[in-house]
Amino acid sequence: MAKRKTKFVCQECGYESPKWMGKCPGCQQWNSFVEEMEASSKANRHILNGNRKFVQKPEKITEIKSEKEPRIAISLEEFNRVLGGGIVPGSLVLIGGDPGIGKSTLLLQVSSQLAEKGLPVLYISGEESTRQTKLRAERLNIQSELLYVLSETNLFDISQQIDVIEPSFVVIDSIQTIYREEVTSAPGSVSQVRECTGELMRIAKSKNIPIFIVGHVTKEGAIAGPRLLEHMVDTVLYFEGERHHTYRMLRSVKNRFGSTNEMGIFEMKETGLEEVKNPSEIFLEERSQGAAGSTVVASMEGTRPVLVEIQALISPSSFGNPRRMATGIDHNRVPLLMAVLEKRVGMMLQNQDAYIKVAGGVKLDEPAIDLAIAVSIASSFRDKPTRPDDIFIGEVGLTGEVRRISRIEQRIQEAAKLGFSRVICPKNNLEGWHPPKNITIIGVKTVQEALNIALQ
């Protein structure tokens, strides 16, 4: 009897090696190699020598007809927004998030709304039994005869049920529990995740069925398994939120059918997830009036402007190396802006601890929030509060200048809608458009000018 060959595969990047190694040469991760059985040569020969006919021929790009993708919209407008207007038939969507964040609840609500439209839906759970899914459905008050639930992990049996039921929408919860019998490695390994995702992509494209697959995340917050998984799917969604907050954010980081970096806000309640129509009011409802170190910034999340409060606390340090802590923003941005304030404005911040926080559990990563962070640091250091109806927008350069930002009109319109009366923004953004009548726009060129206006 021939000896079965084995190989070692990195669980992070999929790098293959004939022997075990402590450190992966591909992704530089330690202890990520797992032993797997190689596929038999007969199976490979059967695939290579199969009687396959290539019926599709190359076409000239000038002769291809461009058609707008039809979309299936549901009543959750925030969900439609993140996907770019609705669910595209034949798309493969990957959604990831921390355990218990609400991924299964969200997809069960989406499945219910599609079933209420008269579309048959197949919800496949590899982690829970059908009774457990039924208990969640009763809590969410879901009663639809077109919603089918299956507890199965074998991909062959799943594909057979898809052929029998012929659903219009399929949910796989989760991809790490699904396995193919032809692949000898354990479920959740690189080989299994890659092969199962490839087969699900073939089913989605050939049958024109949108398939949503749930992916586990690692301790760092990235989707577990090979990076190839995110490249294979059409859309990648991240479901984020703090455990101690009721608000959840659905963020798009890849979308072949719409804009990336879109964000939808939901609130977790006993009856399920409810969409938040105006997140700016939610993030600002508990803002303290007259507190030093508090500013408001208009940040863009995809195509939506969101007003968020930034808080700073500057206090004298009792150690030789002062602390720099940040929550909700890149922690490297805090010492950079403090260095600009020290060099260009003359603030003595070398012996000060700095704590920066974005209220509400939101994560901001655009450069337009620089000016609001700098003003909040200066406000806390000088113990002078800013006006409660001020908005600060602008990117700060290393020479202390305030640089131009994008989509200034949408940001200011959102600020005017919520009752703010003054916006301090880059002076180069004031040309070529007309601001609302009930709001004052002040253009500044440097951080020093902004501080003179905000803390006078």
For residues 426 and 393, what is the distance between their CA atoms, to the nearest angstrom? 7
Rg (CA), the chain: 26
Cis peptide before 174 (omega within 30 of 0): yes
Q: Record the tokens describing residue 347, joined without a space.
A: 């603030």
Q: Record the tokens describing residue 392, joined without a space.
A: 């600060």
Residue burial 243-280, b: 16+ Cβ < 10 Å; e: rest:
eeeebbbbbbebbebbeebbbbbbbbeeebbebbeebb
Q: Which residue has the tokens 């072949």?
A: 256
With beta carbons less than 8 A apart as the criterion, state whether 338 and 396 touch. no
Asked whether residue 103 is marked as a ligand-binding residue, the answer is yes
Q: How many residues does the chain have?
A: 456
> Where would I find the beta strands (DSSP E) of 58-168?
92-97, 121-125, 147-150
CA angle 183, 187, 188 (to 5 degrees): 115
Q: Closest Cα to residue 213, out of 240, 175, 255, 166?
A: 175
Asked whether residue 61 is marked as a ligand-binding residue, the answer is no
Asked whether residue 50 is marked as a ligand-binding residue, the answer is no
For residues 366 and 242, what is the distance between their CA atoms, to the nearest angstrom? 21
Asked whether residue 98 is marked as a ligand-binding residue, the answer is yes
Asked whether residue 70 is marked as a ligand-binding residue, the answer is no
Asked whether residue 436 is marked as a ligand-binding residue, the answer is no
Phi then psi for 218, rounded to 5 degrees? -85, 180
Residues in the annotated binding site: 97-104
Residues in the annotated binding site for ATP: 97-104
